[in-house]
Structure 1
Amino acid sequence: VEDAVDIMKAGAYDYLSKPIDLDELENLLNRIREKRFLISENKLLKEQLNEKFKFDSIISESSIMEEVLNTAGRVANSKTSVLIRGESGTGKELIARAIHHASPRKDKPFVTVNISSLSENLLESELFGHEKGAFTEAKNQRIGRFEEYKKKKIFIDEVGDIPLQAQVKLLRAIQFGEIQKLGGNSTIKVDVRIITAT
């Protein structure tokens, strides 16, 4: 048993006990093949997704849109927060995803927060978390998106609709990289890149 634990710690996928049962060996080989296939398929799907959101995959006939794409391409490698402005249906989320897929954090999840249907308390709770008892429905402590998704990107659509109090907290997260849970007294350091649209 100690040998089995040691080889698993060393990186072995699995082990077989002697004498080797041929059915058990066949099952193990099938599991290994399936895992290799899933790893390969996952890699292929990630590559296809990255292709879909490359800046050269975005077709534009407008010189203004070309300028937007060039600017977005330049900020993709920076750590700066980004505000994308435009009419509904002009591709703000597409640009945000292209920035994400061209950035050093492209292997991390791209988290979208749709704030349009949330009340002020629920919005702050969603983004920053809350302490138990912070508001009537707050039965337990909750971790918000900023704390949960460290080292990732958060895309906040329709940021202009955020109530003033939450905008102040969002600004603090952008400027100082820290948040305070709803009903909390201490600050929490976060490392999240914020892309917003309005």
Structure 2
Amino acid sequence: MTAHFHRETKAIAEGLWPLAGVDEVGRGPLAGPVVAAAVVLDPQTVPEGLDDSKNLTPARRDELFALIAESALAIGVASATAAEIDAINIRQATLLAMRRAVAALALPPAFVLVDGNDPPTLACAAESVIGGDAQIASIAAASIVAKVTRDAMMARLCTRYPAYGFSLHAGYGTPRHRAAIQAHGPCPEHRYSFAPVKGVWRR
């Protein structure tokens, strides 16, 4: 099942326009930033097949990313760094990245639909939707943009810190990644407040 534009259509009919979907990627990894995206889709040109990025193959994500980039009225992408995550905790860093993504939109929204149950405080009205990335087209688009963007960021970090294999696991705590941390210690892109780094190394 793919996401649909029904919720957006209802909101637009109520005068809530422009409308952005917001989602984040990267709450769980041991390294790298948390990345959020905000997308204002064109109601006349909604790409077909939008879905939660986790339900899509990398190739399909890339295809949809290109379609979103071509057709969306506005896209905002932002992140919170590993150091910011350590300083303010992952929840606050996620909300910060979402606020930054919305602020980066060239078309300021009147209404925002956010995946999950914990929306950021914004200047406009916002509604959180649990599982929204698999139900609501604008959120699904944001999920795809955030995922493709973060994966590319982690691939670049892999060239800088090749010992950890970031391009293979995007910073998640796989056995290979944990073994690399034990062998080499953490790098500056690791989250020192997350186990297994927490209590062993300090930033």
TM range (shorter): under 0.3
Q: TM-score if structure 2 supplies the norm length?
A: 0.27
Q: Which has the larger radius of gyration?
A: 1
Q: TM-score if structure 1 supplies the norm length?
A: 0.27
Q: Which has the higher contact order (CA 8 A, sep 6+)?
A: 2
